[in-house]
Amino acid sequence: MKKLLSLLLAVTMVLSLGVFALADGPIEITVWGAEEDQTYLAERIEAFKAAYPDQEFDITLGVESESTAKDTILTDVEAAADVYAFASDQLPDLVNAGAILDLSTVEAALTALAGKTLDDIKAANVEGAITAATYNDKFYAFPFASDGFFMFYDPDYISAEQAETWEGLLDAAAAAGKKVGMTLASGWYNTAFFNAAGFSTSLNADGTTNMDWNGTSPDGYTGVQVVQAMQAIAGHDAFMAIADGDISNQIAGGDLAAVISGTWDTKLVSDTFGEDYEARALPLLTLGEDQVPTRGTVSFKMIGVNPYATNTGWAVMLAEFLTNEESQVARFEAREIPPTNIAASESEAVQANKGVVGLTEAAAVGVVQSVGGKYWDPTASFGEQIAQGTIGTDEASIQTALDQLVEGVTAPVG
């Protein structure tokens, strides 16, 4: 009877308190990184252990793509990894769900052990990356790679001069019987045309997105003008609207003479277009009388720390270590991913990489996107409507379509 009682008592206690023992000995940290990064990360984790020989570590490395990190983490924040890599557009959702640590709360540990302040880290990386890692004036993550799209083209069919403007590009491709490919059905890509006109989006503290694409931009262009320019491009015989995620397939297909893509396709482009391929910023867009640069989206990959990590301090140390100059150089060597660390990106190897040069050129006019969760489906649909030509070309139809788009994007969250 007594035994039964004590057993019952024990079971209830465990159930009710969820007790876990304090780490007494090795510091346990779990890390999530992209599948392609596993070898590289394993090496850098060993380097981290070597950097702090006095402390015993037990670091577990798991696979989680940067592009889907948020989905997995938000399923159960408390069970997610302590240190994880993610794409910068996920930051608002992670912050809203309380799944990422405000780094200022642990700055003391960083200063004490690594001798760095958050300002040192901000100064060491490109400004855009720091902007992307900041939300509501708080600094949340350590950036380690630039990400974004630019244009690859095949100089066999298109001259450098023709590649300057969309008209020149499309006409040259048409003359060669080739296509120019771009994804329109994604708010990541199609915002480039609106950015060109000076439109922008911003994010409110409650997770809603501000968007005024149905009005007039600060530069004096209207949303209708932008859509007309997009319709002119999408309606061109040489233009191929590529479904989101299908770009690599289409490059390999061999019909393209130019494509809007990113560093992840560099090798494929080199194989298809030949090693003499060129990479540059997106062409100039004609709006009314003017020609303005098409401003692509600049994104970043970064590493964040879970606020529910057991060993928060050491987790932050590891996150910082995996994104410092040395790690970024090593990552570039392993994966040819453009670094955000200013010193690392000045190396000769980085400067000689055509993809990186193309990205840098695009990033120079690019825009760091700031949007909430309600942005994506409406903008994807809008791009698809332009791709399929379902929006009328008269101003009234375009205005209606833009009004509906803005209504969907700016809708309350929930």
Partner 1 sequence: MNKIGGAVAGFFRGIGNFFGEFFAAVAKGDWAVKLSLLVWGAGYAKRRQYVKATIMTALEVGLILFSVCFASQYVPKFGTLGTVQMAQEFNIETMQMEFNDYDHSFLILLFSLFSFVVWAVGLVVWMRNTVACYRLQQAAEAGKHINTFKEDCREYLGDKFHITLLTLPIIGIVIFTVIPILLLIFVAFTNYDQQHMPPSALFTWVGFENFKSLFSSGGMTVTFGYAFVRVLGWTLVWAFFATFTTYFGGILMSLLLNSKKTRAPRLWRTLLVITIAVPQFVSLLLVRNFFSNGGIVNTLCARIGLTGWLRSIGLISTSYIPFLTAPGWAHVMIILINIWIGVPYQMLIATGILMNLPSDQLESARVDGANKFQTFRYITMPYMLQVTAPTLVTDFVKNINNFNVIYLLTDGVYTTTNQLMANSQAKEVDLLVTWLFNLTQNYYNYKMAAVIGIVVFIVCAVFTLVAFNFLIRGDKEGVYQ
Question: Residues in the site for partner 1, rule: CB under 8 A?
Answer: 1, 4-5, 8-9, 12-13, 15-16, 27, 71, 74, 77-78, 93, 96-99, 105-106, 108-109, 112, 185, 206-207, 240, 243-246, 249-250, 253, 307-314, 373-374, 377-378, 380-385, 388-390, 401, 404-405, 407-409, 411-414
* Residue among 157 and 308 whose Cβ is closer to partner 1: 308
* Residue among 24 and 275 whose Cβ is closer to partner 1: 24
Kindly state the smallest distance separating residue 93's Cβ from partner 1, in Å. Answer: 7
CA-CA distance, 8 to 95, in Å (whole number)? 40
Instruction: Identify the helix (H) or strand (E) that includes residue 340.
Output: none
CA-CA distance, 382 to 401, in Å (whole number)? 8
8 Å CB contact between 339 and 329 = yes
In eight-state DSSP terms, residue 339 is P
Kindly state the smallest distance separating residue 164's Cβ from partner 1, in Å. Answer: 26
* Residue among 155 and 264 whose Cβ is closer to partner 1: 264
* Residue 327 Cα distances to 40, 41, 44, 298, angstroms: 9, 9, 7, 22
Kindly state the smallest distance separating residue 196's Cβ from partner 1, in Å. Answer: 22
8 Å CB contact between 336 and 265 = no
* Residue among 207 and 293 whose Cβ is closer to partner 1: 207
The closest alpha carbon to 196, from 179, 172, 220, belongs to 220
* Residue among 98 and 215 whose Cβ is closer to partner 1: 98
* Residue among 159 and 390 whose Cβ is closer to partner 1: 390
* Residue among 339 and 372 whose Cβ is closer to partner 1: 372
Q: Letter for the amino acid at 229?
A: A
Kindly state the smallest distance separating residue 294's Cβ from partner 1, in Å. Answer: 21
Instruction: Kindly report the length of the chain.
Output: 414
Tokens, residue 372: 């909430």
8 Å CB contact between 51 and 321 = yes
Kindly state the smallest distance separating residue 195's Cβ from partner 1, in Å. Answer: 21
Cβ-count burial of 355 within 10 angstroms (0-12 exposed, 13-18 middle, 19+ buried)?
buried
Kindly state the smallest distance separating residue 9's Cβ from partner 1, in Å. Answer: 6
Kindly state the smallest distance separating residue 247's Cβ from partner 1, in Å. Answer: 11
* Residue 130 Cα distances to 118, 124, 125, 340, 350, angstroms: 11, 10, 7, 9, 20
